A and B are shown apart, each in its own frame.
Chain A
Amino acid sequence: MSGRRAPLALLATGVVTAAALTAIASSGHVPAASAATTTFTPTADTHVDNSTTGTNYGTSGQLGVDGSPIKRMFLKFTVSGVSGTIGSAKLRLHTDDVTGSNSPAGGSVRAMTDTTWSETGVTWNNQPAIDGATLDALGSVARNAWYEVDVTAHVRANGTFSFGVTSTSTDGADYDSRETGATAPQLVITTGTTTTTTTTPPAAGDPVLVGAGDISNSGSGDTATAALLDTIPGTVFTTGDNVYSNGTATEFANYYNPTWGRHKARTRPSPGNHDYGTSGATGYYDYFGTLAGPSGRGYYSYDLGNWHIVSLNSNISMSAGSAQEQWLRADLAANTKPCTAAYWHHPLFTSGANHAPSTATRPLFQALYDHNADVVLFGHNHQYERFAPQNPSGGLDTTRGIRTFVAGMGGASHYGFGTIRPNSEVRNSTAYGVLKLTLHSTGFDWQFVPVAGQTFTDSGTTACH
């Protein structure tokens, strides 16, 4: 049934209908039990074409599926090192970023018994039989996006598994093959118990903004926080330092893409100093594309429900009169939404022991304060900290003050705290997690959602000005 497919691009828009909701897409779910996620890439993938019956496409960067001419895709994964009961297995495919890769029907995924075929040997003439059960089907697919189908029925333990993908649509789809690296197919195995218990009622359509900063490296923290995103719909924000240590394309491909990259299509990032470890942050801009706003600029805005959301760049000039500050003031002046949120990397308010407050960001905060913004999210110090509403000088301001969070708990590592600053309300330096904001029409709820195995949490509500 196609409902088990999670069209990630749709999640970003927040307009998923109730009929399409499944465990992965339902609102208000928080994992109540531990679950571990392991991602595998294919050991072989190719496609065959009945218009070129003797040709092997094993080293191509593209996997095609079509009804005319007939193209069939073959994928093979070796699952190893997985302990415990497999709760789910998801096959993830990324459509090519080329004209025509989209399709009204992305293909039907079937199990295969033959696991001996060779990527560089398969042609139309000698193709293995697609002889197993139909596992799931891909619906309409767009260009340059991730799609997911449920193949749990076929993958029940460690071993080697083959999948065939076929289509009867004459408007076929094209996916990226394993040769592409960052957008190679994935088999995501989740072990342990995943809850389907609804802990809070769905928020009646109010949009969700969820995320963190200081996220991906060779460790496992980003895997754990990405697993949280699997259960939380909405728009994903990042408060910079998306990858370590130097913001290279390779780091995005190897660290971010297999974890938080699953939610790329619904992500609106901001860059950090480590992203700028590559000159001009080209790794960041190339990876996120238009999701990161105009390439190379790093600041942009969008609306979610009753909210105006601004993503800013604290790695370039922020001084009063700078291009960014002038853009921000114009953007806020043109805004008609009653509530406003903003996020960037370097914190104006932090008690962290590793990075002092970044006073260079104050002109941005001043502009937001002048326009009655409601909440600002930071990263940079690898920890979680919540401040009471403050004015740009750091004074408590219960009338017009902006509530701020340091959400640097995305998975890279943890830092300690130094002297605890005035108006710091809650801190944690040991739990990875994500900060979930539910954006109501006249206020917002915040919730620190910890990764499996951690218990720290923090939640509350603030009204818009």
Chain B
Amino acid sequence: MTTRVRLLVTALAAVLLAAVAVGYAALSGSAPDEVASTAVSGPRLVVVSNGRLATVSRSDPSGPREVTEQRCDRVYRAGGTTSCLRPVGAFKAGELAVLDAGLNEVRTVPLTGFPNRTRVSPSGRMVAWTLFVDGHSYAANGFSTTTGILDTKTGALVTSLEEFTSTVDGTAATAVDRNFWGVTFTADDNRFYATMSTGGHRYLVEGDFAARTLRSIADNVECPSLSPDGRHIAYKAAVNGDPQQGWRLSTLDLGTFAVTPLAETRSVDDQPTWLDQRTIAYGIQRDDGVNDVWAVPADGSGAPAVLVPEANSPAPPD
């Protein structure tokens, strides 16, 4: 219990003792549905706090935490829209829940698989998701993912990017081993970037939702995340091109295709997030399964630091 108590104290440092008692009871298993929560105001980061959608202050991200009743394994928020990948339950498969600014559920899409990545376009209109189809992880050989996109304005639903026409270096890619993951949207609510895996390569592809096309523009780019100015991609680069060796968090200049490794030297298996034009956030899991959100400068300088303890799946203030 020592570790858990310590974590709890960290999480609730600014909360009243009464709330600590409630939280302790929750983690002790006697009342799993009760968690401590404190209202947060001002610009807020969205995170997942052990399976619950939560928010923390952008200016005090390790301080008080507002934990909602929304159960999500992965979240993102932009333009007033929150995407929440619901966990696989005891008696139902998972689903995408689209929540409005008041966290009311406005649309659900039933999904099969294990929640992995999700993104919302800057305007809040487009929502994307990635699930592992049959367990496994990105470091495993032979895993499968499914990635889809929902246009919340028109209701158009693409359940799998495999439906799109994809090309590698201008040649049509039709291999059945194609897998897609990690969509990130541009500001025009049509173009997007994602990873396409085929033939042992993991390509950065640029997608066109209306034209239903994908084309490769770089290799060894996974889980892309487009910068606020639309000119850089933050991503995870397989070390020596081999995911078995882990990933180095890096950025790619879309104009020059120059790659900048970031100061985080630990392996990061996450789709990073731009908190602003200068800062990249991402999750790292401890040995015991507790996650922390870390941040590191986007230009390769500085050093990583914990941004939100005991949380994952960060999204910037919208």
Contacts and interface: CB of A to CB of B under 8 A. Distances in A.
Given A355-B135, A356-B88, A419 B73 contact: yes
Contacts of A356: 87-88, 114
Contact of B289 (A388, A423, A427): A427
Interface in B107-158: 114, 132, 135-137, 139-142
Interface in B5-22: none
A427 B3 CA distance: 11
B285 interface: yes
A428 B287 contact: yes
B30 A430 contact: no
B246 to A, nearest CB: 12
Contacts of A359: 90-91
Interface in A410-450: 413, 415-420, 422-423, 426-431
A427 B285 CA distance: 12
Contacts of B169: none
On chain A, which size bracket covers the interface? 20 to 34
A351 interface: yes
A357 interface: yes
Contacts of B88: 356
A354 interface: yes
Chain B residues touching A, majority SS: loop
A245 B142 CA distance: 10
Contacts of A413: 139-140
A415 B136 CA distance: 8
Contact of B288 (A353, A355, A396, A426): A426
Contact of B135 (A354, A420, A431, A456): A354
Interface in A386-428: 388, 396, 413, 415-420, 422-423, 426-428
Contacts of B168: none
B255 to A, nearest CB: 35
A420 B30 CA distance: 15
Contacts of B32: 422
- Scoring A355, A396, A418, A420 by chain B CB atoms within 10 A of each residue's CB, the highest score goes to A418
Contacts of B289: 351, 383, 385, 416-418, 420, 427, 429
Contacts of A417: 285, 288-289
B287 A456 contact: yes
B80 to A, nearest CB: 26
Contacts of A396: 29-30
B218 interface: no
B198 interface: no
A108 to B, nearest CB: 46
A128 to B, nearest CB: 45
B159 interface: no
Interface in A345-373: 351, 353-357, 359
B68 interface: no
Contacts of A426: 288
Interface string B278-292: 000000010111100
A365 to B, nearest CB: 13
A251 B114 CA distance: 28
A456 B137 CA distance: 23
B137 A415 contact: yes
A10 to B, nearest CB: 38
A416 B140 contact: no
Contacts of B261: none
Given A353-B114, A357-B90, A413-B139, A428 B30 contact: no
Contact of A354 (B137, B141, B269): B137
A383 B285 CA distance: 13
B142 A418 contact: no
Contacts of B287: 427-431, 456
Contacts of B50: 419-420
Nearest to A217: B141
Interface in B29-82: 29-30, 32, 50-51, 73
A343 to B, nearest CB: 20
Nearest to B289: A417
A427 B288 contact: yes
Contacts of B290: 420
A354 B73 contact: no
B229 to A, nearest CB: 32
A431 B286 CA distance: 12
A413 B73 CA distance: 23
A385 B288 CA distance: 9
B11 to A, nearest CB: 13
Contacts of A383: 289
Contacts of B140: 413
A387 to B, nearest CB: 9
A351 B87 CA distance: 11
Contacts of B90: 357, 359
A193 to B, nearest CB: 26
A428 B73 CA distance: 20
Nearest to A385: B289
Nearest to B87: A419
A423 B288 CA distance: 14
Contacts of A423: 29
A420 B7 CA distance: 13
A416 B285 contact: yes
A459 to B, nearest CB: 15
A418 B30 contact: no
Contact of B87 (A416, A418, A429, A430): A418
A352 B285 CA distance: 12
Nearest to A423: B29
Nearest to A355: B135
A91 to B, nearest CB: 34
B30 A354 contact: no
Nearest to A387: B29
Contacts of A419: 50-51, 73, 87
B166 to A, nearest CB: 27
Given A415-B137, A422-B32, A354 B132 contact: yes
B33 to A, nearest CB: 9
Contacts of B51: 418-420
Contact of B285 (A245, A388, A429, A431): A429
A413 B137 CA distance: 10
B304 to A, nearest CB: 19
Nearest to B93: A356
4 nearest A-B residue pairs (beta carbon): A417-B289, A419-B51, A422-B32, A356-B88
5 contacts: A245-B142, A359-B90, A416-B137, A418-B51, A429-B285
Interface of B: 29-30, 32, 50-51, 73, 87-88, 90-91, 114, 132, 135-137, 139-142, 269, 285, 287-290
Given A415-B137, A419-B50, A430-B287, 6 more contacts: A359-B91, A416-B137, A416-B269, A417-B288, A418-B289, A419-B73
